[in-house]
Amino acid sequence: MIPVRTLALAGGGTGGHLFPGIAVAKSYLPPGDRPLLFGSGRALESRWVGEAAEAIALDAPNLPGRLADVPRYVLRLARAMAGSLRILGARRARLVVGLGGFASVAPGLAALASRRPLLLLEQNAVPGKANRLLSALGGRVAASFADALPKLSPGARRRARVLGNPVRPEVLAGRRDPARYGLAPDRPTLLVTGGSQGAGALNRALLTAGEELSRAGVQVLALTGVADEEPVRERLRASGVRAFVAAFRPDMGDLYRTADLVLARAGGTTLAELAVLGRPSILVPYAHHGDRHQDRNAEVFARAGAARIVPEGELTGARLAREATDLLGSADVLGTMAAAALSLGVPDAAERVAGWAKELVAGRGGNGRAG
């Protein structure tokens, strides 16, 4: 017998999109139940999801870049939508949660066409194209930032609530454990993480910052992505930096707690994790998104005093070392930044979103904002 999946997640492609959906599913579903996940079928996506969801790869088209591509896009979208409708019906799904990205569009349209509630998670201060489209057509929006609401259509704003970005329980449960990573308990520790796929700009700066970090007694935790793991490990070792380097780790909560300072991109999910754990940060927004949403995300944290911003074009090894050693040398400044980060955190965001989802399934909770 095909198992019933009362909740379907749609979209993803990166951990920043997937992890909030998994957190909502864990709060929404009874223990032992799994959601469906309509995704892109990427290998890393499957690795991040693991056993938390039943993944279904759609032939989901990306938005057309040229007018000549539109007919093919419409045909593929229609096929993906029809396939989504069949699966939602066969699995008796009662709710679709959109995670953003092109893979969310066909299942989102299928939810709207079949009059199932569609709840869209918007992790960033600038809503993505998929969420803007689906919210304008009737989807509800659970936003992480109030800054996102003015960028939605007027109708979508009336169907939006600011509930925070859901964070996985295992991140919330993180604990400080320097020994686990071969680090000393009494030395300042910098975590460098580019998110679920690594970040080349951060890794390149780290490659040339080692000697200055070593002289300052700073030890490093670095999540580099697969391509840069060995080069970063070897360079830090040669520079005399005590370091733990990995391509990717599932124990993000422990890594955050072990670090005194975090150098990171400014994706919405990374920022939500920094906030709920109260981690001071240096943020390097990704500079090549057309809407520059990471800049807007980072500005929220900088205004609150939770982070410093270094533009990607200004990030060098010398700048990284100077900013990191300056902050790590001042416990008072780090404490102030940590408190500011905590003030932005919403540790119960998954429960808030799941609660609204249950209202929608019950035929309530259609409109209005909540702070």
Residue pLDDT, tens place only, 322-352? 999 999 999 999 999 999 999 999 999 999 9
Phi, psi of 119 (to 5 degrees): -115, 120
Confidence of residue 198 (pLDDT cuts 50, 70, 90): low
* Residue 268, both tokens: 């919405």
More confident residue, 128 or 50: 128
Q: Which of 17, 65, 48, 55 is nearest to 34 (CA)?
A: 55
Q: Rounded to whole angstroms, how far apart are CA atoms 118 and 138?
A: 8
Q: Which of 53-67, 137-151, 208-222 has the lowest mean pLDDT?
A: 53-67
The pLDDT assigned to 76 comes to: 92
95-133: string of b/e by CB count within 10 Å (b at 16+)?
A: bbbbbbbbbbbbbbbbbbeeebbbbbbbbbbbbbebbbb
The pLDDT assigned to 14 comes to: 78
Q: Are 17 and 8 in contact (CB under 8 A)?
A: no
* Residue 229, both tokens: 């793991």
Average per-residue pLDDT for the chain: 92
More confident residue, 63 or 141: 141
Mean pLDDT of 67-94: 93
CATH class given for the domain over 170-344: alpha beta
User: What's the one-letter identity of residue 96?
Assistant: V
258 to 253, 322, 368: CA distances (angstroms)? 9, 21, 39
Phi-psi region of 280 (alpha: psi -120 to 50; beta: other; left: phi over 0): beta
Mean pLDDT of 244-258: 94
Domain 7-167+348-361 identical in fold to domain 170-344: yes
Phi, psi of 297 (to 5 degrees): -60, -50
Over 60: is that where the pLDDT of 197 sits?
no
Confidence of residue 282 (pLDDT cuts 50, 70, 90): very high
The pLDDT assigned to 39 comes to: 86
User: What's the one-letter identity of residue 47?
Assistant: R
Q: Which residues contact 236 (CB under 8 A, 6 or more apart)?
A: 206, 210, 220, 222, 243, 245
Q: Which of 98-107, 195-204, 279-288 has the lowest mean pLDDT?
A: 195-204
The pLDDT assigned to 43 comes to: 56
The pLDDT assigned to 368 comes to: 40
Confidence of residue 83 (pLDDT cuts 50, 70, 90): very high
Mean pLDDT of 123-151: 96
The pLDDT assigned to 6 comes to: 94
For 122, the 3-state DSSP assignment is strand
Helix boundaries (H) for the chain: 15-28, 43-49, 70-90, 105-113, 129-136, 154-158, 169-172, 200-215, 229-238, 252-258, 268-277, 293-304, 317-328, 331-344, 349-361
Q: Rounded to whole angstroms, how far apart are CA atoms 268 and 163?
A: 13
Confidence of residue 289 (pLDDT cuts 50, 70, 90): confident
The pLDDT assigned to 140 comes to: 97
DSSP per residue, 285-321:
--S--TT-HHHHHHHHHHHHTSEEE--GGG--HHHHH
Q: Rounded to whole angstroms, how far apart are CA atoms 166 and 320?
A: 30
Mean pLDDT of 274-289: 93
Q: Rounded to whole angstroms, how far apart are CA atoms 168 and 21?
A: 9
Mean pLDDT of 209-236: 95
The pLDDT assigned to 212 comes to: 96
Q: Are 13 and 103 in contact (CB under 8 A)?
A: yes
Mean pLDDT of 149-166: 96
The CATH number corresponding to 7-167+348-361 among 1.10.3720.10, 3.40.50.2000, 3.40.50.300, 3.30.230.10 equals 3.40.50.2000
The pLDDT assigned to 163 comes to: 98
Which residues is 162 bridged to in the sheet? Answer: 143
45 to 15, 39, 179, 249, 303: CA distances (angstroms)? 7, 8, 30, 14, 33
The DSSP element (H or E) to which 36 belongs, if any, is strand 36-39
Strands 219-223 and 281-283: unpaired
List the domain boundaries for the chain: 7-167+348-361, 170-344
User: What's the one-letter identity of residue 73?
Assistant: Y
The pLDDT assigned to 371 comes to: 36
The pLDDT assigned to 369 comes to: 39
Q: Rounded to whole angstroms, how far apart are CA atoms 61 and 40?
A: 9
Over 70: is that where the pLDDT of 365 sits?
no
Q: Is the dihedral of CA 312, 317, 322, 325 positive or negative?
A: positive
